[in-house]
Amino acid sequence: MGGVDKGLQLFQGQALALHALRRLQMGGGVGRILFNANRNLSDYASWGVSVWPDTLSNYAGPLAGFLTGLQRCETPYLVTAPCDTPLLPLDLVTRLADALQAHQADIAMAAAPETDAQGQTQLRSQPVFCLLRANLLDSLVQFTAGGGRKIDAWTALHTTVLVPFDLPGDDPHAFFNTNTLAELQTLHSLQAQANGSI
């Protein structure tokens, strides 16, 4: 996003990360929420959450956030969600937890429909939306210490269940992430269309 802090960019008048926080709180199934951020920590802390920077010395991508979360987790499970997906499903945690229990898995990962350039729609994993058993910390420490940085490569080491979010009534834009300012503008337009204001 041109060097700006993604989580603090505005969507419908509120920071992207604040949308994610509120939706996790509204959906239930979560206790303590913490933010993993490496700058503007006081801005995030002003929302009443604990804020922790990466514990890895070099930027390791989303797995660094997983590691920080697992190191600070005080419950048997940790759910992860990115700051740039302001429409994440309200029932995210419930559905991940149900699947984790039903399949006796170590990790439950969301999957959402995505349409490719040829117009074909298929389910695609959303690896930053996970419910993890907290006892996976040692595994992740070893993986990252060995130079591992890919979420899929680490989750493949464990029993992982994909949880589809393609039911009737599921928001097709729930997992739309805004990695660029252009994508943020696209999401504004999509929401305006959905609300009938265009």
Q: At residue 162, does pLDDT exceed 70?
A: yes
Give 97-139 pLDDT, tens digit per residue.
999 999 999 999 999 998 787 888 899 999 999 999 999 999 9
Global confidence as pTM: 0.91
What pLDDT score was predicted for residue 64? 94
At 8, the pLDDT band (50, 70, 90 cuts) reads very high
For residue 23, the model assigns a pLDDT of 95
For the cut 70, the answer to whether the pLDDT of residue 36 exceeds it is yes
Q: Tens digits of per-residue pLDDT, 164-195?
A: 999 999 998 899 888 777 777 877 677 766 66
All structural domains of the chain: 8-89+131-160+174-194 (3.90.550.10)
pLDDT of residue 175: 94
The reported pLDDT for the residue numbered 198 is 44
Per-residue model confidence (pLDDT) at position 196:
62
What confidence score (pLDDT) does residue 192 get? 66
pLDDT (tens digit per residue) in 140-161: 999 999 999 999 999 999 999 9
Crossing angle for the helix pair 62-72 and 137-145, nearest 10 degrees? Answer: 140
Report the alpha-carbon distance of residue 29 to residue 70 in Å, rounded.
Answer: 17
% of the chain at pLDDT higher than 70 = 94
Average pLDDT of the chain is 91
SS3 content of the chain, % helix, strand, coil (to 5): 35, 20, 40
- Contact of 176 with 112, CB cutoff 8 Å: no
Check: CB of residue 93 under 8 Å from CB of residue 130: no
Of 41, 161, 49, the residue nearest 99 (C-alpha): 161
